[in-house]
Amino acid sequence: MTKSKLVELAKRRFDEIDSQIVQFTRVNEIDSFLNDLTNYPHAYVLACLMDRQIKAERAWQIPFLVCKNFNSYNITELSKIKLKDFVNLFETERLHRFNNTMAEIFYKAILKIKNDYDTDASKIWENNPSSASVVYKFLEFEGSGIKISTMAANILARQFKIPFSDYYSIDISPDVHIKRVMKRIGFVPDNAENDMIIYKARELNPEFPGIIDFSCWEIGRNWCKPNNPDCKNCIVKDECKNNNNPE
């Protein structure tokens, strides 16, 4: 696959106007909550922080399930809940793979939004910020490494169409699907580490490296699976170097 093909696909999708809500969980009530950046921007931030080492659809349900359980949906109400109560809920409901750790991350994120952003998480991305600024602010949250922070900024820019002054610092977030696709397509060697994948994406589209993130992820989830890949129906089958001999 030529470099321009994937970037062209990603740019076309970025420019498309999509009136539908972002399908994080495919549960309408929960997705509506997560998409309400006006009233519940913290739900989006908290969901991003939960998205690690479990299926994304499960991770993104956590803020809604927590708020529903406590019947508390805004930061002021949530900040009154004690850490031990969050831990108890996470453990009782088995919300995550690492319940003690993630309950504390959830709790500390709420306090950070209350104290640093005056209860309004949307201040993280207000006023056309630079991409570096948004990524940095997400990095300030405990439990948020570069992968989560760039993913969070990428979704805001790509799917929510939040205006940024630039997109240079939004890198690709190499999860298992993206790494597999980048290797099979032939952009990077089979032994490539995350840094190589990130820098290859920067080479492909320097002004917005992360623009190819969703397209690679979608290909990996739907067609380029670890076993028995569906090469026949893959949207990049004609360009993939491993089409006839997938690993």
Q: Please say whether the beta carbons of 129 and 123 come within 8 A.
A: no
Across all residues in the chain, what is the average pLDDT?
A: 91
Q: Write the pLDDT tens digit of every residue in 41-72.
A: 999 999 999 999 999 999 999 999 999 999 99
Q: Residue 247 has what pLDDT?
A: 45
Q: Yes or no: say if 31 and 23 are a contact pair by the CB < 8 Å rule.
A: yes
| Predicted local distance difference test score (pLDDT) of residue 20 | 62
Note the Cα 136 to chain centre separation in Å: 15
- Six-digit token string for 206: 């320097």
Q: The pTM is what?
A: 0.87
Which CATH code for domain 3-16+170-233? Answer: 1.10.1670.10
- Ranges for all domains in the chain classified under CATH 1.10.1670.10: 3-16+170-233
HSE of 59, CA atoms in CB hemisphere, 13 A = 18
CATH (residue range 28-158)? 1.10.340.30
Residue 2 has pLDDT above 80, yes or no: no
Condensed to tens digits (0 to 9), the pLDDT of residues 160-214 reads 999 999 999 999 988 888 899 999 988 899 999 999 999 999 999 999 999 999 8
> How far apart are alpha carbons 35 and 24 in whole angstroms?
9
For residues 77 and 237, what is the distance between their CA atoms, to the nearest angstrom?
Answer: 50
